[in-house]
Amino acid sequence: MNLSHVILYAIVPIIVVMLAGYLSGKKGVFTGDDAKKFNKVVLDYALPAALFVSIVQATREDLVKDIKLTLISTVGIMACFMTVYFVFRMFKKNTGADAAVSALISGSPTIGFLGFAVLEPIFGTSPSVALVVAIVGIVVNAIGIPVGLSLMNASLEKQNPGSTKHESAWKPVIHALEQPVAWAPILAVVWVVVGIPWPAYLSPSFDLIAKANASMAVFSAGITLAAIKFTVNWQAVLGSIFKMIMMPAVILILGLLFHMDPLNLKMLVVAAALPPAFSGIIIADEYNTYVATGTSSLTLSVILFIGFCPLWIWLTDAALRSGFLC
């Protein structure tokens, strides 16, 4: 794969649009509250529409071929998620809630905000790209966030017995599945499995809002970065190392070990190399837990992604060419 193409068509556009959002945030044109509203449009409307209309155009054969993709995504991402949690839990100054936020940030890729923006310029517009974004999105939103919230609530309940209302362990899972970004791709998969033909004339109605997904998400990310204070400390650096190096490396090794489809593996490695999920920062802010370090790790990872994205593509291609672990 031509790395200059990756840089010019995937990385540079993201930098330009994110910089526009960042400058507008610094100048006060938009605020952090505006970014939250933009994020809601992305997560509740644009991204679900993009996922749904792309997946329903796939075939049953595509879904069967992607079973390895689903299993490796789930095992790889959640293994990294829990590794981040337990490593950060060992530090004396960190509470369980701090470690949970670290996992939600450094153990989760921001697939909803940057997935299509990065993958489509590199791999093209296809149902396969949408399936990678959907599967990783479901892992992050329907598994990672509920697990992180459960760990956080358990820690807060231990610290302040009686002050935290005891809730069902399934509540975060149910809440996650109620979100359009989770149920829309699931509905699309069911649609394909049942074998209902998708009327082509319906696609333009979804495409119009879906096209706003990538640009609005990246612009909003820039505003968010402008609204946070960036200070580097060793925990922020460690979180960035976990996210930008450990997660794509784990995914790459698992994919090679289990002979994953080469194209799916490349897309999944790039997805795993995406910066941390912005949802982790939102949760940290709501709970007022680990906000400064979490936002610093996020900002540092966004900067590092400029170099790590083409690096991981090159490493994946090199591993596939050499037949490493095959």
Could you give all domains of the chain from N- to C-terminal order, each with its CATH number?
A: 3-320 (1.20.1530.20)
> In whole angstroms, what is the distance from residue 131 CA to residue 268 CA?
10
User: Mind listing the pLDDT tens digit for each residue in 307-326?
Assistant: 999 999 999 999 998 876 55
- pLDDT of residue 15 exceeding 90: no
CA distances from 39 to 28, 145, 193, 296 (A): 18, 17, 31, 20
> 87 versus 117: which is more confidently predicted?
87
Please give the pLDDT value at position 85. Answer: 94
What per-residue confidence (pLDDT) applies to 1? 57
Q: Is pLDDT of 247 > 70? A: yes
What is the rounded CA–CA span in Å between residue 272 and residue 296?
A: 19
Gap between the Cα atoms of 141 and 147, Å rounded: 10
Residue 52 dihedral angles phi and psi, to the nearest 5°: -60, -55
Rg of the chain's alpha carbons, rounded to an integer? 19
Of 103-112, 244-253, 282-291, the poorest mean pLDDT is in: 282-291
DSSP letter assigned to residue 109? B
Q: What angle do CA 44, 50, 54 make, to 5 degrees?
A: 145
Q: List C-alpha distances in Å: 114 to 109, 119, 275.
A: 9, 8, 9
- Lowest-pLDDT range of 134-143, 185-194, 262-271, 290-299: 290-299
Q: Which of 36-50, 56-70, 210-224, 281-295 has the lowest mean pLDDT?
A: 281-295
pLDDT at 233: 84
C-beta separation of 107 from 83 below 8 A: yes
Average pLDDT of the residues in 110-116 = 83
pLDDT in tens, 73-91: 999 999 999 999 999 998 8
Other C-beta atoms lying within 10 Å of the C-beta of residue 168: 8
